[in-house]
Amino acid sequence: MTAPESLAPLPFIDGIVYGEGPRWHAGRLWFSDVMAGKVYSAGETGDLTLEAEVPHASGLGWLPDGTLVVSALMEPKIYHVDADGNITATFDVSDLAWTTNDLLATPDGRAYVDLYRTEGDGIGLVDSGGAVRVVASGVSVPNGLGLLPDGATLIVNDLNGSRILTYPIEADGSLGAPSLFADLGPDRHPDGLCVDVEGAVWIGCYDSGEFLRVVHGGHITHRIEIERGWAVAPALGGSDGRTLYMVVDDTTFEGLIAGESTGWIMQARVDVPGAGSP
């Protein structure tokens, strides 16, 4: 099996606290700054726009009517935000989890969200009105969420399990039995992910300081090493879908709880464009 091709990251944006949730949407890179409680968008030249202020903003997605859906980190809340950046609804899911994290919105107006729970982590299905029900369990710190190009398969990073899982999506949004997409070995812990048109995923392995392109079965085709910080989350975008944006955060678990972090975003050009997910 061939060794991964190495790519070099280039600077894109700095000056954020703890970046998360990068998504290419409406011709711009959107991302959240968790500890600053802000959602930004950036053009390809790096020009920044503050889109909304949302407490502990983490995962991002959009309903068919354009409503921005934002999940929180460090608290169990999901927000709806209008086109002017105003929070129009807040949904408390503390009956299901002590915190949410990443979020994936699907074209039919549903969303999937990470649920971190004292009795075992899982994945929640969010309807367009904000109601949440648990549709998967047995995942040890679920993180990045994406939709494979077939439009009918959810792909999820199992961070503490050092693996990537897929779930068939049923007609009502429920999830079928999981399948193993890739076993990453004990030393790699996948955080965020994004999907390309060939059905491979780019993942950030936060504590090994690398972004990897992984195909079904676990072969790593490309690797981008970062000099310092956590390799948190990637997104594919740009005008041709071939720019990989990589969120990096330099912190510790203790620092994250205390709000002490320095974040930035890097970029690299890749061959295979994004599939538009997440």
108 annotated to a ligand binding site: no
DSSP code for 85: S
What's the token pair of residue 247? Answer: 């969120």
Helix (H) or strand (E) holding 253: helix 253-258
- Residue 264 contacts residue 16 (beta carbons within 8 Å): yes
AA letter at 198: E
114 annotated to a ligand binding site: no
What are the percentages of helix, strand and coil residues in the chain, rounded to 5? 5, 55, 40
- Residue 256 contacts residue 263 (beta carbons within 8 Å): no
SS3 1: coil
86 annotated to a ligand binding site: no
Q: Is the peptide bond before 107 cis (omega within 30 degrees of 0)?
A: no
> Sheet containing 179-183: which strands, arranged edge to edge?
142-147, 153-158, 163-168, 179-183
- Residue 84 contacts residue 66 (beta carbons within 8 Å): no
157 annotated to a ligand binding site: no
**Catalytic: 191?**
yes
What's the token pair of residue 76? Answer: 């169990």
Say which of 158, 191, 196, 249 is annotated catalytic.
Answer: 191
- Active centre residues (catalytic): 191
Binding site residue list for a divalent metal cation = 20, 143, 191
Binding site residue list for substrate = 101, 119
Binding site residue list = 20, 101, 119, 143, 191
